[in-house]
Structure 1
Amino acid sequence: MASALAGETLEITGSSRSSWAASSFREVWDSPQDVFNQSSRRGKDDEDEELKWAAIERLPTYDRMRTGVLKQVLDNGNVRHTEIDFTKLRSQDKKKIIENVLKLVEEDNERFLLQLRERNERVGIETPKIEVRFENLSIEGDAYVASRALPTLLNSVLNPLEALFGILRLSPSKKRINNILQDVSGIVKPSRMTLLLGPPNSGKTTFLQALSGKLDNKLRVTGKITYCGYDFSEFVPQRTCAYISQHDLHHGEMTVRETLDFSGRCLGVGTRFDMLAELSRREKEAGIKPDPEIDAFMKATAMKGKKSSLVTDYILKILGLDICADIHVGDEMRRGISGGQKKRVTTGTCVVKIARKAKLHKEHLPHITY
């Protein structure tokens, strides 16, 4: 019986060895072929991409600015490169670009922003920076004091009458001069976050409104405010600086995405198209091939006249508003998003624009995630 068991053991061992040898031999025989197939497939994909870029480089500047390569990984693992026109983006192409960009943002948003900056710096284009200077800034206004400043029914009747009599010079005004800011000077350095601290009613809001060019016309301002040496009469400050109010004023019937899209279209793409044209020209002269995903994002966001921009989806992602993008903002009469989300929408409406500097109130600071 022992000999029989020994024979069975030897038989099983021998069969397992033979099967192992056969499988290992099959793996050794088949694996080099798979490796060669993968390398040849990868080389074919790279060659296809090079041909697409070579065809784009031969286009005129106007057409080259509107054409790019869209990289797509198929279900079978193959990579397909498609030449697309960003002025005629289909919904599926736009969805693919958004997926590629948001994938980079989810992995590391800072690395994505560094890639955008490195592309400009690689050809000698510096990212625009703004330095704000204010010298001897003083702001004062006229206001009622004591009981006349209260919002009572009597004051609501007397104040317009006194204003009318003052215009006709029949009665002197009972308003007193209120000095809000007096002889303030300083510099706001570029690429920095500056925190403004002060007690209540110290003029913080008035100061931020003055720097952003949104001060009330009834206030009297003396001093000088310059952006890189230019005062407000030489440019439009709203295209350069965004003031984010502490009051969340939105249209309740619009969704979060529609609100950001509308805000972005109010000022357009700005100088993004001109900068991209110069960037494309220098890359062509230097023989540099940009990253397809970064190039697709920059070209898609520089196109004019689009109802919806990729910048909106990007801002929705970094502000954590993608989960409520298609929900109505709401108001006192309509149910909508939460209060914290509404403050982030207020921040997003200014960030989605082309502003280089943003001035925020303390209520919005905890909601910035970048």
Structure 2
Amino acid sequence: MMMEVSKREEVGIVPHPDVDTYMKAIFAKGQKTTLQTDHVLKVLGLISMLTEMVGDDIRRGISRGQKRRLTTGEMVVVPTKALFMDEISNCLDSSTTYQIVACLQQLVHITDATLLISLLQPAPETFELFDDIILMAEGKVVYQGPHDQVVEFFKECGFRRPQRKGVADFLQEVISRKDQAQRWYCTEDAYHYVSVRIQGISSWLEA
């Protein structure tokens, strides 16, 4: 990356001063820490445990939530083009989960990376951070696309989201056999459970 920056500077293409300073600070040699590492540690709330032992089956170390943050930090501190994370919110409160996802969002937007995260029931503010979502049920993809269009998609399918209902909670309900009926609003047709496996869903996906 520094070689590319140097080539551009030779032909008069100079980055923003803050970006230039940040990049050169990251790649400076002989430092015990870097700006990038310090930033990740701060965002993930790991600054206070720098001298603590991680621990193992015999020695008690940091908590499960702290281990989750540490694992996330290990993944994002080095340059990468694709990240796959499974249930990173386990053992974390909603505020910490939001901070981590917000950090990851900045990472993928700045570096043009791809990030795929699986979350069971994200908080509304965390859900809004995602560019696209993939909703799965019964082993099939029900919806894949921009997060701000998923409510309209299910409205066309006959399901309406109450104004005060979070989008993530609404999505959980419309794919649930137990809760789906209460979100049906198409009065022209009598309600019956809409399974992901029926032909109707397939036609909606193709449309």
TM over 0.5: no
**Higher alpha-carbon Rg:** 1
Scaled by the length of structure 2, the TM-score of the pair is 0.38
